[in-house]
Each structure stands twice: as structure tokens, then as C-alpha cells.
Structure 1
Amino acid sequence: MSRNLSAQIPYLRLILVALIGTILPIGCAENKSPEPLPLERWQEVVIEGKTIEIQIAFLEHEMKQGLMNRSSMGENRGMLFFYDPPKQMSFWMHNTHIPLDIGYFTADGILREVYPMYPMDERSVKSRRKDLLMALEMNQGWYAKNGIKPGDSFDVDSLKKALLNRGIPESRIPF
């Protein structure tokens, strides 16, 4: 019997090594940070004391889709497009059925330009500035109705929290 056992030891060692190799990585796995919130989740931010809910698009396919094919959007809801690095921006309304206003923001969270955008209008709405980090699309007339104008700004703490929740690395957030 001891002879059979000694013949089986190499196989038992192989099985033991395989088990350890399978189990060890599971126990040593890093604690990962929470999963970022998906685009579909609304997040609260504050702009000049006004709380709004936004969806944040920062992946290329999310930016390309934007607010296309939606038939409506809540009164204080919008979509924020986050770019890195800052740049001149240009948006259009391809397959977008909601009349919108677009606000362009610099990296300090300050609103610099606002333009109306019309449903299904494929002409570009281009920014004048070339140092813009974010664009915020809201229902048409929202900026004027709420007294939000160029020079006004996001509460950067609420914006930073929303960007981090969305999965944008802190190293890419300039405030």
C-alpha cells in the first residue's frame, strides 16, 4: 500500500498545485473601486444655486449618441458632455427631436457661451472658444428661464462628485 501511495504522490502534488493556483488569485484579488454609474443614471449637480439632474457622456459612443431619438426630457434635466483635453466644440441635432440650448463651459466650470439648437437641424453649432471642457444640453429656453448666463458657473464640488461617480478618473478632473 505504501508503494501505491508513493506512486500517487506526484499526481497529488500536481492536483494540489493546480488547486492553489486556482484559489490563491481569488483570495488575493484587489479590492476594486465601485463600478462607475452608467450613462443612463441621472446625477445631481448645481449651477448658480439651481439643482439639475444630468447624464454624463464621456465615452466616444455616448457622445456620438447624445440625446438622439428621445421624444422628451424633464424640465431640469440635461446631458453633460465631458472632453479631455479642452477644445473648440461643435454639436448638431442629427436625429434629435427635442429643441435644446447648449452651454459651453471651460475647465473652471464657468459657462462661456450659450446657443439654441433646433430639432433635426444638422448644421453645426460651433463654439467660438477653443478652451472648452464641457457642453451641457438642456431644454430650449432653460438657461434664460433660470437666469443662467455666461459668467455663471457650476458648483464644482457637486460637479466633481458627479464626474467621479460616472467613472471619470480624478486625474482628468481639473478642479
Structure 2
Amino acid sequence: MVKRIAILLGAAFLLFTFWYYQRNPLTTKITIGNHVLYVDVAATPVARERGLSGRTSLAQDYGMLFVFPAPAKHGFWMRGMNFALDFIWIRDKTVYELTRNVPAPLSGQSPNMLEPYYPIDMVLEVNAGSIDRFGIKQGDKVVIRQ
């Protein structure tokens, strides 16, 4: 009987942990060039789909890092966004492309689809204007601190 309860509690804990991290991304620090950013990491399909949708703002030195299992031309849209973003397209921990000042869709407007020119394995979304403010450029190295 005690063994069954222990197994059930262990299974419940694992399910809760899986559920929690599907809905609450991990936060870590990254460095691009000389600038340090704090990012929520979206590494699961659920977290990547949700992204920053529904948030009303993003702190100045914060962003969301989308991590994919393999390089591809992963598409992004601004569904449910309330503020403009810059997109930093990354492959092999190197900045490949930059997309500046993508506006949030107006009420009732369909969001535009964004896609990189090159296959990428990560995308960093930051407040519009951050690319220029931080001096981020193509070829910059990205260091992820666990």
C-alpha cells in the first residue's frame, strides 16, 4: 500500500512538473556582443506557440528565446501581441539575421508571418529598437548561461 502511494505521488509530481514548465518558461541570461539580456526560454511546442502573446510589455533588458530542435526556416507571427518587437535570428549561437520594429497587429487585423531567409535554430524576441540600442549585428556570438 505504501509503495502504491509513493508511486502515485511520484507520478503526480512528474505530471505537475511537465505541466508547469509547459506553461512557465525557464529564465536564463544570454550575452550578445557585450550586452547581457535576461530571457524566458521557449523550448517546447506549447511555449513556442504561446510566446509573448497576451503580455502588455517587456522590460528593457528582457526577451524571449525560442529554441528549436533543428535548424529550419521557422515562421513567426504576432498573434495576441500588444507591442512592437525586434527579431534576432540565430544559428549555431551566431546572429544570422535581424528584423527591426515589427509592429503588433491592430485590433481585428490578421498578424503578418515572419520567416528568416536562412535556416535558424533559435530566435530572440526583444522590444522594438533593442537591436540598435544594444548594437547587435550579424555575426555577433550568442552565449547562453545556464
TM-score tier, shorter chain, comes to: 0.7 to 0.9
Greater per-residue strand proportion: 2
Q: 2:129 aligns with which of 141, 145, 163?
A: 141
Deviation digits for residues 76-126 of structure 1 (CA, Å, limit 9, x no counterpart): 10000000111112111111112100111012x100111132112611111
Paired residues of 2:27 and 2:38 also in contact (CA < 8 A): yes
Partner of 2:71: 86
Partner of 1:32: none
Deviation digits for residues 11-47 of structure 1 (CA, Å, limit 9, x no counterpart): xxxxxxx77xx39x88xx9xxxxx7994344321211
Name the aligned partner's letter for residue 112 of structure 1. Answer: Y
Aligned alpha-carbon RMSD (Å):
2.5
Give the secondary structure class of the aligned counterpart of 1:84.
strand
Q: Which runs of 5+ in 2 are unaligned?
A: 11-16
Paired residues of 2:73 and 2:116 also in contact (CA < 8 A): yes
Partner of 2:42: 57
Q: 2:114 aligns with which of 111, 125, 147?
A: 125
Q: 2: CA distance between counterparts of 1:98 and 1:91?
A: 15
Alpha-carbon shift at residue 49 of structure 1 (Å): 1.8
Q: 2: CA distance between counterparts of 1:98 and 1:54?
A: 17
Q: 2: CA distance between counterparts of 1:128 and 1:41?
A: 28
Give the secondary structure class of the aligned counterpart of 1:42.
strand
What TM-score, normalized by structure 2, do the two folds share? 0.78
Give the secondary structure class of the aligned counterpart of 2:48.
helix
Greater per-residue helix proportion: 1
Paired residues of 2:25 and 2:47 also in contact (CA < 8 A): no
Partner of 2:141: 153
Q: 1: CA distance between counterparts of 2:36 and 2:128?
A: 17
Identity %: 22
Q: 1: CA distance between counterparts of 2:94 and 2:74?
A: 15
Partner of 2:14: none
The structure 1 segments of at least 4 consecutive aligned residues displaced by more than 6 Å after TM superposition are none
Q: Which residues of 2 match residues 1-175 of structure 1 at below 5 A?
A: 22=3, 38=21, 39-107=24-92, 109-116=93-100, 117-120=102-105, 122-130=111-119, 132-155=120-143, 159=144, 161-162=145-146
What TM-score, normalized by structure 1, do the two folds share? 0.66
Over alpha carbons, which structure has the higher Rg? 1
